[in-house]
Amino acid sequence: ILNVEQSPQSLHVQEGDSTNFTCSFPSSNFYALHWYRWETAKSPEALFVMTLNGDEKKKGRISATLNTKEGYSYLYIKGSQPEDSATYLCAFMTTDSWGKLQFGAGTQVVVTP
């Protein structure tokens, strides 16, 4: 089982502040890195699928970067809003995993007004 580590485990952010958190994964046999947002009582929702070293993706106020050589990805939230409160999961796919994702434990983000 490959280790995908996310840090921090949780963080509290004031509304309007920006924040970021990390996903670390093994750099060998890299195929793709996924980010999901999981709000309470809802389904996890795909945010980004990243495949190339140096990839940067953006969706509204949320963006992500990818470094496959050193095995990490950052997720950034700019100007956090209460609706950004969720658990953010990253997941890693290797070239020999046949489409299976290995998930990290998630970073729980709580945005307070």
Partner 1 sequence: DVKVTQSSRYLVKRTGEKVFLECVQDMDHENMFWYRQDPGLGLRLIYFSYDVKMKEKGDIPEGYSVSREKKERFSLILESASTNQTSMYLCASRKIGQSFNYGYTFGSGTRLTVV
For partner 1, give the closer residue by CB, 18 or 100: 100
Specify the residue, 18 or 51, whose C-beta has the smaller distance to partner 1.
Answer: 51
The least CB distance from residue 1 to partner 1, in Å, is 5
Main-chain dihedrals φ then ψ at residue 83, nearest 5 degrees? -70, -5
**Residue pair 65/56 in contact by the 8 Å Cβ criterion:** yes
Q: How far is the CB of 72 from partner 1 (least distance, A)?
A: 16
Compare residues 75 and 91 and give the one whose CB is closer to partner 1.
91
CB of 45 to partner 1, least distance (A): 8
Q: Measured between alpha carbons, how far is residue 54 from residues 12, 40, 74 in Å?
A: 28, 31, 11
Beta-bridge partners for 21: 75
Helix (H, G, I), strand (E, B) or coil at 77: strand
Chain residues binding partner 1 by CB under 8 A are: 1, 4, 9, 32, 34, 36, 41-47, 49, 51, 89, 91, 93, 98-106
Which two three-digit tokens encode residue 51? 């495949």
Rounded to a whole number of angstroms, the minimum distance from the CB of residue 3 to partner 1 is 9
